[in-house]
Amino acid sequence: METKVAIIKDINKDIKFIEEAGDIIRDGGTVAFPTETVYGLGANALDEEAVKKIFIAKGRPQDNPLIVHVCSKNISELVKEVPEVAQRMIDKFWPGPLTIILEKNDIIPNMTSANLNTVGIRMPSSEIALKLIELSKRPIAAPSANISGRPSPTEVERCIEDLNGKVDYIIGGESSDIGVESTIIDCTVNPPLVLRPGGITLEMLKEIDSNIEIDSALKSKPTENFKPKAPGMKYRHYAPKAHLKIIKGKNEKTIEIINEILENYIEKGNDVAILTTDENLNKFNSGKVISLGSENNLNEIAKNLFETLRKCDDLGVQHILCQGFEEKGVGLAIMNRLNKAAGYDILEV
């Protein structure tokens, strides 16, 4: 299939591209588009055949439900009810990187919800995403716009790399500033439970209800038969082609251990990338040393994370050694993604 690519430079002048993409969504096609978290691959959430195309393009397992993207805070058509606590989250955090799980209405087809009786809904803050949803006049089901298992794209070039020839349209024009996918919170239980950490942090959610916690399943490596509440969390994810290992502990010790492991890999003739912070850039003896950002700015590290994992693959290294980060604020989401990308190969030092 031929994929049309359009880069939006000025949303007013280039509106025709978003109109075109909106028509494609309404006609049952697929469109990759930017959001503030990561790029999404969208289709009409209410059209079973259209949604099926997303699963095929991504190679996504069909038991993994899709998030439905809306352009308004009024979601009464899509869900049975909006509990008061969910309404407070909508008022405070939408538009933004928070997906709220609620009981779905029959209008949401089983292909979108993967046969669950719940649906995850989010109103993104990206200007292009909101315009696309508005002009398509449909809620848009959209997983991240990558081939299943690969790091999520935060730049349009990565969508093209993964999806060219597999989808109808790719819209670019914004890079994803948050860089990790939305926080998912299950509001069908009381107190609500965080199923995936993201840009809206646990600390921010606790201001809505101090009883909110993260799903205990997120705290350790999943066992063989484990069934997570967010079905997608059981799959190996976000993974670069190289072997990734995380080393976490006090800074000086972490650097010492990374240098030891590095020496061993290099001796064996391997190419190695080291993912670290601005502050540590000069502390490694060899390897391709790449900074994710300043240790004082976890938002910057989150924004650069997936793109840097993909760059490591471009470099063709066999191993990536990445320092760990404190699991506070967005650090919780960073470590969740890193752990999954590393298949939980983490060394605490």
Q: Which residues bind ligand TXA (CB under 6 A)?
A: 35, 37-38, 40, 64-67, 97, 99, 101, 113, 116, 118-120, 124, 142-144, 181-182, 184, 195, 229-233
Comparing CB distances to Mg ion, the nearer of 195 and 212 is: 195
With contacts defined by CB under 5 A, name the span among 50-58, 115-123, 140-148, 319-327 that binds Mg ion: 140-148
Report the nearest approach of ligand TXA to the CB of residue 42 (Å): 8
Comparing CB distances to ligand TXA, the nearer of 69 and 248 is: 69
Report the nearest approach of Mg ion to the CB of residue 339 (Å): 15
Cβ proximity of 176 and 38 under 8 Å: yes
Report the nearest approach of Mg ion to the CB of residue 144 (Å): 3
Report the nearest approach of Mg ion to the CB of residue 64 (Å): 9
Cβ proximity of 134 and 25 under 8 Å: no
Comparing CB distances to Mg ion, the nearer of 35 and 144 is: 144
Residues whose CB falls within 8 Å of the CB of residue 49, separated by 6 or more in sequence, listed in order: 28
Alpha carbons 196 and 214: distance in angstroms, whole number? 8
Report the nearest approach of ligand TXA to the CB of residue 276 (Å): 26
CA 142 to chain centre: 11
C-alpha distances in Å from residue 310, one per residue of 43, 176, 261, 341:
25, 15, 22, 11
Cβ proximity of 88 and 81 under 8 Å: no
**Type and span of the H or E element at 184:** strand 183-186
Residue type, 24: I
Main-chain phi, psi angles of 183, to 5 degrees: -70, 135
Alpha carbons 35 and 130: distance in angstroms, whole number? 9
86 binds, among ligand TXA, Mg ion, none (CB under 5 to 8 A by kind): none
182 binds, among ligand TXA, Mg ion, none (CB under 5 to 8 A by kind): ligand TXA
Report the nearest approach of ligand TXA to the CB of residue 106 (Å): 15
With contacts defined by CB under 5 A, name the span among 11-19, 101-109, 138-146, 286-294 that binds Mg ion: 138-146
The angle at the Cα of 192, spanning 191 to 194, to the nearest 5 degrees, equals 135
Which of 44, 99, 113, 144: binder of Mg ion (CB under 5 A)? 144
Comparing CB distances to ligand TXA, the nearer of 121 and 255 is: 121
Main-chain phi, psi angles of 66, to 5 degrees: -105, 150
Q: Which has the closest alpha carbon to 326: 307, 302, 343, 310? A: 302
Cβ proximity of 77 and 107 under 8 Å: yes
Comparing CB distances to Mg ion, the nearer of 35 and 277 is: 35
- Give me the residue whose beta carbon is nearest to ligand TXA: 232
158 binds, among ligand TXA, Mg ion, none (CB under 5 to 8 A by kind): none
Comparing CB distances to ligand TXA, the nearer of 111 and 142 is: 142
Comparing CB distances to ligand TXA, the nearer of 254 and 339 is: 339
Report the nearest approach of ligand TXA to the CB of residue 288 (Å): 28
Alpha carbons 3 and 163: distance in angstroms, whole number? 8
Binding site for Mg ion (CB under 5 A): 144
